[in-house]
Amino acid sequence: MHGFSYKSGSLYCEDVDLSSLADEFGTPLYVYSAGTIVDHYKRLDKALDGVEHEVAYAVKANSNLSVLRLLATQGASFDIVSGGELYRVIKAGGDPAHCTFAGVGKTREEIVYALEQGIYSFNVESEEELRYLNQVAGELGVIAPAAVRVNPNVDAKTHKYISTGKSENKFGVDFEAIADLYERAHRDLRNIKLRGLQMHIGSQLTSITPFVEAVEKVIPLVKQLKESYGIEFWSIGGGIGIIYKDSLKSGSVDWWEAQPEEEKPLTIERYGKELVPRLKGLGLKILLEPGRYIVGNAGVLLTKCLYEKKGSAKTFKIVDAGMNDLIRPALYEGHHEIVPLQEPATADRVKVDVVGPICESGDFFCQDRELPDFQPGETIALMSAGAYGFVMASNYNSRPLPAEVLIEESTVTLIRKRQTMEDLIEGEL
């Protein structure tokens, strides 16, 4: 659920009319619901009651300092994939001792920085990386805490670009090779402390089945590693999916209760109900790494319609946001529900492409979709844009990055200023 809904004919975020934000801050504009972020974090934390655990927010989903600060005040841990993300977490008040560092290509500079900050664990993606981590730690005269990422070869049945748990993916070490790797590391790598095991099979999973399959497959390995090497945690990854196609309606409890049982999307309550009994007796701390689940439905991108172009084959609604602002539709074929800020008076729909100003044919937010017939000058919201939206934005076509706003009930806070033309060339010679 989330904090976006129509009230008296206008689309609101919590207690704030989104039209007022478009007027005050301009468009394109990212808007986030603080209440939704906190609610999702707390519900996920509660769903794991019964096992020792930490919820380590995946910073890559949305790394704005105010979002990180909000989660840090709730006691969140953090999953990072770069030295820059660790720097952001620290600046936002996060504790490095509750950070895990993932990613296949860590540099020496990043490793040194993370060791100096005292992170909880490096999630290592290959034997070569583990040996290099040992070398750097040895040169510094310290012990590096590490967990190897196991690739359980489980099909997450998600988009190929966000599937990570199969043998052909670049992430992790083959399931069959993990035990021998831990044995060699324990024997040979004197500056490595084998602290845990990590896995992550993919993102935007809407069925419990792949989670259960992966957990059940890896449990015997986890028990073996605990007995042999005394590992203390198992990170089971993230990947819990969110609602994209009925995003606006999914903000209501009534929508969830009306879904047929066999078609009901995965809820966090079911996630906990299925996994906690399987994890309970292991005697290990369980780490979760959610990103999209926490912030995805907590954000929207507001954009103004500039023109309507009617051709012989299609009608185009041209808006002021582009693929540089939200690249998911172009990159992942990602679906974002599109709704006007003023609730339509009728159910009439027109089939259109909603496109941006970028000089690329891939610059679209939807194609051949039936939508309310919004007109030039009107503002629309691209729903479910809180994850992998602004963080993947760029200055392509020399377009300034949009502003970001955080809503807490009726309080409006500008959490990132819109880039200026001067900002675009800062640092260039």
- 193-216 pLDDT tens trace: 999 999 998 888 988 999 999 999
Residue 263, judged by CB atoms within 10 A of its CB (0-12, 13-18, 19+), counts as: exposed
Q: What is the pLDDT of residue 248?
A: 96
Q: Which helix (H) or strand (E) holds 187?
A: helix 178-188
**Identical fold at 4-12+22-28+297-424 and 34-294?**
no
> What CA–CA distance (Å, rounded) separates 260 from 257?
8
Instruction: Report whether 333 belongs to an annotated binding site.
Output: no
Give me the long-range contacts of 423-429 (CB less than 8 A, separation at least 24).
424/395, 424/398, 424/400
Q: How far is CA 168 from the centre of its chain?
A: 23
**Do the Cβ atoms of 279 and 235 come closer than 8 Å?**
no
> What CA–CA distance (Å, rounded) separates 221 from 286?
15
pTM as predicted = 0.94
Sign of CA dihedral 234, 34, 320, 399: negative
Instruction: Report whether 291 belongs to an annotated binding site.
Output: yes
Residue 105, SS3 per DSSP: coil
Residue 235, judged by CB atoms within 10 A of its CB (0-12, 13-18, 19+), counts as: buried
Residue 99 bears catalytic tag: no
**Which two three-digit tokens encode residue 251?**
């903000």
Catalytic residue among 13, 99, 359, 366: 359
Residues linked to residue 6 through DSSP beta bridges, in sequence order: 11
Q: What is the pLDDT of residue 166?
A: 45
> What CA–CA distance (Å, rounded) separates 290 from 43?
12
**Do the Cβ atoms of 55 and 41 come closer than 8 Å?**
yes
Which residue type does 121 have?
S
SS3 content of the chain, % helix, strand, coil (to 5): 35, 25, 40
pLDDT beneath 70: ranges in the chain = 155-170
Q: What is the pLDDT of residue 311?
A: 86
Instruction: Report whether 94 belongs to an annotated binding site.
Output: no
* CATH number assigned to the domain with residue range 4-12+22-28+297-424, chosen from the 4 options 2.40.37.10, 1.10.287.3510, 3.40.190.80, 2.40.50.140: 2.40.37.10
> What CA–CA distance (Å, rounded) separates 80 from 89?
9
For the domain made up of 34-294, give the CATH fold: TIM Barrel (3.20.20)
Instruction: Report whether 149 belongs to an annotated binding site.
Output: no
Instruction: Report whether 93 belongs to an annotated binding site.
Output: no
pLDDT in tens, 28-45: 999 999 999 999 999 999
Instruction: Report whether 239 belongs to an annotated binding site.
Output: yes
- Would you state the torsion angle of the CA atoms of residues 141, 147, 153, 154, taken in this order, to the nearest 10 degrees? -150
**Which two three-digit tokens encode residue 305?**
């319609």
DSSP category for residue 125: -
**Where along the chain do its domains lie?**
4-12+22-28+297-424, 34-294
Concatenated DSSP letters of 283-340: -SEEEE--SHHHHGGGEEEEEEEEEEEE-SS-EEEEES--TTT--HHHHH-----EEE
**Which two three-digit tokens encode residue 100?**
């895990």
Q: How far apart are the first and last CA of the chain?
A: 48
Instruction: Report whether 360 belongs to an annotated binding site.
Output: yes
Q: What is the pLDDT of residue 263?
A: 80
Instruction: Report whether 125 belongs to an annotated binding site.
Output: no
Q: What is the pLDDT of residue 161?
A: 44
Instruction: Report whether 409 belongs to an annotated binding site.
Output: no
